[in-house]
Amino acid sequence: MVEDTYSAFIRKIEFGGLRAQSASYSADDDVFVAVAEECELRKKLEFTVKDITHDIEDEALSAKVCWQVGVKKSKKILFRVKAEYQIVFFNVGAETTEEHIENFCATTIKATTFPYFRQFFNQACTDASVRLPPLPMLKIMPKIGMPVISDNET
């Protein structure tokens, strides 16, 4: 069964490390006015995984992860923060399927790297003297078909 093999994959895999490859921010002068006037600002958060490498011989999985957030007033981006990370996992068996890797990248890698980006966003705001609230906690919804416990169930 596919679920059993994915569960075995998850139990076996080990976090190897994470490092920032690049990180930057930019602020338009209008952001200071918008924050001071308490204008409605929207954040657009983007997450991408690229350059996924599954090394069967070394039983390793590595990927480049890019996080980016743009803070907008209307359609104009006033503040942008971007970071790219290299992440590595070990004990990824040769029997691992592409489906396992795709699911892992979309969920576990996202959840693993977001706290680092969230902290960088906060630091970028401080460094740029832009008083914005921190990014909210990341919510990852389960795939369709998985049981969900609602807030009303305890």
The pTM of this model reads 0.81
Band (102; pLDDT cuts 50, 70, 90): confident
Tens of pLDDT, residues 70-80: 999 999 999 99
What counts of helices (H) and strands (E) characterise the chain? 4, 4
What confidence score (pLDDT) does residue 95 get?
80
- CA nearest neighbour of 50 among 94, 106, 6: 106
In the chain the domains, ranked by start, together with CATH numbers, are: 2-128 (3.10.420.10)
